[in-house]
Amino acid sequence: MAGRLEGKRVVVTGAASGIGRASALLFAREGAQLLIADWAEDALEETVQAIRSEGGQATGMRIDAGREEDVRALIERAVRELGGLDVVFANAGIAGNRAGLAELALEQFQEVLRVNLLGPFLAIKYASAEMKKQGKGAIVCTASVAGIGANAGSIAYSASKAAVISLVQTCAHDLRGTGVRLNAICPGLIETSMTQGMFTYARERGSQHKLGQFTPLERAGQPEEIAHAALFLASDDASYVHGQAIPVDGGLTASVPYLPPKK
C-alpha cells in the first residue's frame, strides 16, 4: 500500500528536533522525498541519518528561517534537486523569553517575529510561486494555541503565532484558484526542546501529572501527535481543507480552563 506522501517532494523547516523532526520522520515513512532545514546543523544531520536508517530519502540544509536569502535558496534547491515541490511544512520557530511588557526589549520582540512570522511568510511566498506553476501544492505552518488566547506563551511568542494564523487565512484567499492549499496547526502543550525546561522541572518536583491538567484529555502532547496532523494537512486526504488554523491541543481551546473537583 502506497504511503500518503508517496512520491511527494517535501520541505520541512525546524527539522532538527521536536515537531519538525517527528514530522520529517513520519513524512519519509509515508513515501516523501525530503529536503529538511534548520539552524542547528549537527542536530539536523541526526534527523537526516535517522530518516536514511529507515530507508527514507532526505537531505539537510542549514538555514536561518527568517532570512529571505536562505528561504529562497531552500525552495530553489528543493525544486532543482527534487524536481519540483509538492509540500512545505513551515515549522521553524523560537520561544523568546517570558519577560513582562515593561522588561521586554524591542530587539527581543523583533527577533521572535522575524523567525516566527517572517519565516512562514517567506516560505509561503516562495513555495506558492513554484506550486502555482503546477497548479497544486500544500503548505502547512506551525502556529500555536498561544495565538488563539492569552497565557499559553510569552508576549512576543503569542503575538507572532496570532499573526501566523492571520497570515494563513489572508494568504489562503490570495491563493484562490491556484490549487495551492494553505493551513496552520495550533499545537497545545507539547514536549519539545522548547518546553523541555518545564517538563524537567515538573519531573524533578514529582508534579509531572499536572502537565496538561487544564485539557480535557488531562495530559500534554507529544511531537508525533502534531506530526500526524501535519501529515493529514500535507496529504491529498485534506484536499478540501484550506485557510484553516486547526488546534491540536487535547481540547484546551474547546472550553475555558477547568479543573474538576478533587475526589
Q: Burial of 183 by CB count in 10 Å (0-12 exposed, 13-18 middle, 19+ buried)?
A: buried
**Which residues on adjacent β-strands are paired with residue 248?**
187
* Positions marked catalytic: 157
For the chain, how many helices (H) and strands (E)? Answer: 8, 7
Q: The C-alpha cell of 110 is what?
A: 523583533
C-alpha 81, offset from chain centre: 23
Q: How does DSSP classify residue 84?
A: S
Q: How far apart are CA 66 and CA 109, in angstroms?
A: 14
Q: Are 10 and 58 in contact (CB under 8 A)?
A: no
For residue 105, the tally of other CB atoms under 10 A from its CB is: 11
In terms of Cα–Cα distance, which of 68, 62, 80 is closest to 130? 80
Q: The C-alpha cell of 125 is what?
A: 511566498
Q: What DSSP element (H or E) covers 174?
A: helix 155-174
In terms of Cα–Cα distance, which of 130, 48, 134 is closest to 88? 130
